[in-house]
Structure 1
Amino acid sequence: MVIGAVQGTDCFGAAYEFRFNTAYQLRKAGLNKRVPLTYVSAEPFLGRPVVAAAPGLADAKGFVPVHDTYQAITYPNIHTVGVAAAVTVPWTTAIPVGVSKTGFPTEVQARVAAANVADRIRGEEQTRHQSFGDSPAVCVMDAGSNGVMILADRQLPPRKAGVLLPRPQARVAKLALEKYFLWKARNGHVRLP
């Protein structure tokens, strides 16, 4: 079985989780010796034709450079968050796929962008700013029978506080969070944390 992330992915957490959970289920079913697992990492370029078609919108890798308001640098009418946003980090040139921008960081970016879009619609000045590196790091990774909680005051160094907690309780927390977020989405409670 081959598991990997799609071309241009810069957060491998979901693929790792899927790989860990698949390995756990195969062991549980007694099939792990019969089903070899291979993990394939993503290509270093994002393959979105609509982004590439807009002159100057994306960088050479296909990511959209943004301000800390999550407006595209070359097209201020376009707000970009998550995996498509090219964020500035000290080591970007050393890592072809950039940095993680899914889950909690994307939610932070989306809130900033949405508030700024609403301000623009009302004809007001955009007041929300949040650089990727300054947003808090909150991640819970499910790894089959175990899991890891990652908490830090900032996404990128220098950090004042950060902790990695590998515990079975992390898996339970991940499942609870997933159920909570699905309930929240199904019932329209988008303002809840």
Structure 2
Amino acid sequence: MKKPVIAILGAGLGGSVAAFEIKEAVGSNAEVTVVSQGDTFHFVPSNPWVAVGWRKREAIEVHLPPIMARKKIGFTGVGARRVHPQENRLELADGDSLFYDYLVIATGPELAFDEIEGLGPDGFTQSVCHVEHAERAAEAFEALARNPGPIVVGAVQGASCYGPAYEFAMILDTELRRRKIRDQVPMTFVTAEPYVGHLGLDGVGDTKGLLESEMRQRHIKFITNARVAKVSEGQMAVEEIAEDGSVKAIHDLPFAYSMMLPAFRGVPAVMGIEGLTNPKGFILADKHQRNPTYPNVFSLGVCVAIPPMGKTPVPVGVPKTGFMIESMVTAIAENLKALLAGEGPSREATWNAICLADFGDSGVAFIAQPQIPPRNLNWAAEGRWVHLAKIGFEKYFISKIRRGEATPFYEKLALDLIGARKLKA
């Protein structure tokens, strides 16, 4: 008798972990197959380090096919052209099809650089969203170091990932000081957030005070409620928006180097599928991570549709942090196990946020339980220990991927590192 097929679309931070944990949960009761865009896992949180030369690409990469084979997980790196949920079929990029009984979508987002003229690596700003972008950003940074000038860093309107923007601004500051050229490089942080430290979460603990203080100590000017109108070579046009939606001020910011995080949207393989996605292409999911229209389709990570925290002068998205993604993985693995046993799904993800934001020589850590306020735990702290913890976490996570282990990375390590177990109510 043919075994049910569980297809996992995506092999990034969420998809790779999902493959290991789902296979562990279902065992020999189902075949698990991963469809990836390429054969390599990249540890995305290390990209800011790559962009200043603190890491080489090969140090944060893992070649997946032999690991998946060892775990008896099917794998293809050809990518998917289109999901056909009404047919239970993945149309692959090479023209073949993969039929499934259950589908787990873990694609991450498409980067919407094209929404703003001149934005992105093909325009005039750098990116740390992908390791290839980070390598190009490193080349541009070396050019800046040879000929210092102004820097503009931040996140544009509609972005839903702010931590890496803060990290990169501080890491740039740290590296420029080490090279003794920080005094030649004015820096401005530009963000759609209504205030510094909002993070798409309406702040966590005193992230507002901590991050504003860090900006001032490092002589980084900042513009909030910012809408980037256009980027041209060496120039960024930024509109500062008032509470009533009017333009409060216009800033023409010159730059010799810029890194701006873009807005996200769903990938082309799922965009516009009625009942599966919202208008931005993010996957609709219930409390069990199942799609309401296609209940054999699950989703996790950045591709999941989450409504914004509330109205802000400039659109601000909600991040999906590693801890939240991990809890989605566990919920899906347990629910698939139940479904294969003829039972209904019951496991729900724990939407908590844990973040270690490295600043190159210090950092800020925060815990939000749950991620959306009001919260049972709302805590943030800073110190050099965060920088050291982030380094340890990188090594731990990559080693786990290389071994194909499905242990709870974020929950175990991050909670232990920042003492959250003692802080729990």
Residue identity opposite 2:285 in structure 1: V
Q: Which residue matches 2:227? A: none
Does 1:17 pair with 2:167? yes
2:352 counterpart of 1:136: yes
Partner of 1:171: 387
1:117 is the counterpart of 2:336: yes
Q: Does 1:98 align with 2:221?
A: no
- SS of residue paired to 2:385: helix
What 5-or-longer segments of structure 1 have no aligned partner?
none
Identify the residue that residue 401 of structure 2 maps to in structure 1.
Answer: 185
Q: For each residue in 1:62-104, what CA deviation from the matched residue of structure 2 results, as whole angstroms up to 9, or x when unmatched?
A: 211210111122221111111110124552x657453110311
What corresponds to 1:69 in structure 2?
A: 288
Find the counterpart in structure 2 of residue 87 from structure 1: 306
Q: Aligned with 2:297: secondary structure?
A: coil
Describe the SS at the equivalent of 1:79: strand
Q: Secondary structure at the match of 2:366?
A: strand
In 2: Cα distance, 1:23 partner to 1:85 partner: 34
User: Structure 1 residues 90 and 29, CA, compared in 2 at 3 Å: closer, same or farther?
Assistant: closer
Question: Which one of the candidate residues 354, 359, 375 is aligned to 1:159?
Answer: 375
Supply the distance in 1 between the matched residues of 2:334 and 2:128 (Cα, whole angstroms): 31
Question: More strand per residue: 1 or 2?
Answer: 2
1:51-70 to 2 correspondence within 5 Å?
Answer: 51-70=270-289
Structure 2 CA distance for aligned equivalents of residues 110 and 177 of structure 1: 19
What count of residue pairs does the alignment treat as equivalent?
188
Verify the 8 A CA contact 1:9 1:42 in the aligned structure 2. yes
Which residue, 170, 177, 182 being the options, matches 1:27? Answer: 177
TM-score norm. by structure 1 comes to: 0.82
Structure 2 match to 1:78: 297
What TM-score do the two structures reach when normalised by structure 2?
Answer: 0.40
Distance in 2 (CA, whole Å) between partners of 1:37 and 1:168 is: 27
Structure 1 runs, 4 residues or longer, greater than 6 Å off? none
Structure 2: where are the runs of 5+ without partners? 1-123, 130-155, 186-254, 413-425
- Partner residue, 1:146: 362
Q: Which of these two proteins has the greater Rg computed from alpha carbons?
A: 2
Give how far 1:107 is off.
Answer: 0.8
Structure 1 distance, partners of 2:392, 2:161, is 22
RMSD between aligned residues: 2.7
Q: Deviations over 1:115-161 (max 9, x none)?
A: 2122223332112013xxx5322111111111001023211111132
* TM-superposition CA deviations, 1:147-189 (whole Å, max 9, x none): 0010232111111321110211111111111111122222233
Aligned to 1:46: 265
Q: Helix, strand or coil for the counterpart of 1:99?
A: coil
Asked whether the equivalents of residues 5 and 42 of structure 1 are also in contact (C-alpha less than 8 Å), the reply is no
Question: Could you tell which deviates more after superposition, 147-156 or 114-123?
Answer: 114-123
Question: Post-superposition shift, 1:26?
Answer: 2.7
Contact 1:9/1:46, CA 8 A, preserved across alignment: no
**CA distance, structure 1, for counterparts of residue 330 and residue 164 of structure 2:** 22
CA distance in 2, matches of 1:80, 1:47: 12
Q: Quick one: structure 1 residues 163 and 64, their matched pair in 2 at CA, closer, same or farther if it must change by over 3 Å? A: same
Q: Are 1:2 and 2:221 matched, yes or no?
A: no
Distance in structure 1 (CA, Å) of the matches to 2:352 and 2:174: 30
Secondary structure of 1:54's counterpart equals: coil
Question: What is the rounded CA distance, in whole Å, between the counterparts of 1:89 and 1:121 in structure 2?
Answer: 34
**Cα contact 1:148–1:167 (8 A) shared by 2:** yes
**Do the aligned partners of 2:321 and 2:353 also contact (CA within 8 Å) in 1?**
no
Q: CA deviation at 1:36?
A: 4.3
| Mapped contact 2:322–2:353 kept (Cα < 8 A) | no
Output the CA distance in 2 between the equivalents of 1:75 and 1:31. Answer: 56
Over the matched positions of the two proteins, sequence identity in percent amounts to 31
